[in-house]
Amino acid sequence: MLKYYSRPDVQEEIFLAAKGREIGVMYKDSGFGKRPDILQFKSDVGEFAKQGASSFHVSLERWRDPLELKSGMSKRELDKLRVGWDFIADIDCKYFEFSKIAASLLIEALKFQEVENISLKFSGNRSFHIGVAFETFPKVVNNIHIKDIFPEGVRIVAGYLKSMIKSELKERILKISPELGEDFDPFTIVDIDSVAISSRHMIRAPYSINEKSGLVSLPIKINDLDNFELKQAKPENVKTGCRFLDKGNPNEAYNLLVQALDWSMRAKRNEPVEITAKKKDYEIPNIAIREEFFPPCIKQILNGIEKDGRKRAVFILVNFLSHMGWDYEKIKETLLEWNKKNYEELKEGYILSQLSWYKRQDKKILPPNCSNESYYLDLGVSCNEPMCRKVKNPVNYALWKLKMKKNSRRNR
């Protein structure tokens, strides 16, 4: 360990990973050292190793001054000191190949949400960490300062991503182990956690050794995941250069966070997120519902988006139109025509990839509720009809209006 931590390149990487974070130094014989602590210089890594340090851990949270932290601080005090947090999903599974599958699916789900800067590292044992840097998230959503929703924000994003990959994860595991049967829950085999148990929680720093396995927690390029082998994480084989949680583009994770928050709010209110046979109000019509029955908000969106929010509009339209009984060919035709009306066209490949993903899902979700400002108000969409004040979701409006039309015909 001393030889490994004496390497200047390893010291540099651990030092950079600890910048703006609280660190925890683990001593093999006596547990963690004092907290809070920081790395002032990269040479501190070597000095700690000389004192018997076996591993280094860093906080998920970013702090204005980590040394101001102390035990027993209130949430308000922590929020004042915190400047941000990184999203990290921890994949834990005793079967290494299943861990790889889960990591691959999480990466695919993040790409689907248009997150470009995705970090990946081997944990040092049997799992992987998937990370998205705080810089990629919006600072404020619905008047909520995102830096302050910790650890809830990390948990919500992790839960949303789990819901996205569950069916595909189950399918891929069954291909390898069909004896598990169709009724098994993939998360009983592959545990995906947000890591954020509480404030000041830590993870093993990139390029730090795992005492139990003797392997290094090694950052990996996402394109190298399939070919990654455990021997690459042996200290004598470790090559530095790949970094974990590099800064991303501002707001590239906006859609991810907004949709995760929306998913979480529906779950808390016990609102229908998935279509079920018991929910008759949300059964897909056998005959496609015409545009004349659509609510004003959907009609406005179909006229084109005049400012940022085109990707959120795609999410709304696909979910709404699929509930109107429209087949995917008709939805594709409509979206491609709609795209020409926007202030700037999205790439056609983006729209097609979104449709392709939705087609693969076994269950459908409703479009965001009318009260969700991040979708409708932010897009410049408003509804003034009296009926709009009586419904929660655009789907309700269309079904209600169609029902009224049918009743009117019967009464003639």
pLDDT tens-digit map of 257-310: 988 888 887 776 655 443 232 333 456 667 789 998 898 899 999 999 887 788
Least confident of 193-197, 252-256, 297-301: 193-197
CA distance 281 to 349: 33
Q: What is the pLDDT of residue 270?
A: 57
**Could you tell me which residue, 383 or 181, shows the higher pLDDT?**
181
Q: Per-residue pLDDT for 239 more than 50?
A: yes
H or E stretch at 120: strand 119-122
The pLDDT, as a whole number, for residue 410 is 58
Number of Cβ within 10 Å of residue 132's Cβ equals 25
Ordered by where they begin, the domains of the chain are 2-237 (3.90.920.10), 276-410 (no CATH)
pLDDT at 362: 65
356-381 pLDDT, tens digit each: 877 777 667 788 888 777 778 778 88
Helix (H) or strand (E) holding 47: helix 43-50
More confident residue, 133 or 396: 133
- Look at residues 138, 147, 139 and name the one whose alpha carbon lies nearest to residue 115: 138
Amino acid at site 13: E
pTM: 0.74
**Model confidence over 4-39: pLDDT tens digits?**
999 999 999 999 999 999 999 999 888 899 999 999
Query: Residue 251 class from Cβ within 10 Å (0-12 exposed, 13-18 middle, 19+ buried)?
Result: middle
